[in-house]
Structure 1
């Protein structure tokens, strides 16, 4: 994945600030323990829920059960926003990823993602790989999705910055 083009939005940034480097925003995505996903229900109402996600190979990945609301929403509209960051007002960096959720069914990719989940959470999240996605002893089967960013926004707090990243 090539480096995105970044732009500071001075309307929402403190005077004299600089755009947040992409490396900083990517680090927040890589290290996030909890993220939230926004999808759209068939009747147009929003649906937001927390989840654990993995940033790998230039995409944010998440999994969800075949009968969950997220899965039903994605069948009708794959556009999503994934958010993560720091809940404090006076510090940290919040990052939002906009893009289209696409199912991951390639077995080698699923194997790498299962290993990434296991590694990121020191073995607390372990998945087996199936032809449809993941399986585990606790939650059963899960579909795996990748969101390659169309746009990323980063909001620095304390010293306030609003940076957008556009991807080719």
Structure 2
């Protein structure tokens, strides 16, 4: 996301008077350090679906995987609109990050291999995937479809000094 990174916009309506905007390095550090993310998708009937999952940042884009028959995969087959969020549940400290955009399926072996390596590096051997037929395969969980989140908007909510920063893509 850095190659085409727009300027940060601090929304003063939701920020303390002297609060500085969050920086992109703060956002990427939060994404790289987070273990759990929440993916929001839209069901065929328009209802939201929110579920926790793990995700990795590769080539400055967030990636996640899901079983092909899971609800989130079925939702994304109908609408690629999604939001990926992470942060702290503490009220007075931390940085919450929301990436709004669309999920794009990744199936080329070279990209999948790099993403599988990132999962193993971040989450350990329990999250070790082989690449077969354009998907991840894990003996414990079966096949998984891999997606990249293409951002339209990234929001950072700094707590403590309370600042809302936005990047629009």
TM-score band by shorter chain is over 0.9
Among 81, 94, 97, the alignment partner of 1:95 is 97
Among 144, 147, 168, the alignment partner of 1:145 is 147
Post-superposition shift, 1:64?
0.3
Among 27, 30, 35, the alignment partner of 1:25 is 27
Tell me if 1:82 matches 2:84: yes
Q: Do the aligned residues in 2 keep the contact of 1:95 with 1:155 (CA within 8 Å)?
A: yes
Whole-angstrom distance in 2 between the partners of 1:4 and 1:35 = 24
Whole-angstrom distance in 1 between the partners of 2:118 and 2:6 = 24
Post-superposition shift, 1:19?
0.8
Tell me if 1:118 matches 2:133: no
Identify, as 1 or 2, the structure richer in helix.
2
**TM-score w.r.t. length of structure 2:** 0.96
Post-superposition shift, 1:159?
1.1
> Could you tell me which residue of structure 2 aligns to residue 44 of structure 1?
46
Post-superposition shift, 1:93?
0.1
**TM-score w.r.t. length of structure 1:** 0.96
Q: Do the aligned residues in 2 keep the contact of 1:58 with 1:148 (CA within 8 Å)?
A: no
Superposition RMSD in Å = 0.9
Whole-angstrom distance in 2 between the partners of 1:39 and 1:3 = 24
Post-superposition shift, 1:3?
2.7
Q: Which runs of 4+ in 1 moved over 3 A?
A: none
Q: Do the aligned residues in 2 keep the contact of 1:9 with 1:161 (CA within 8 Å)?
A: yes
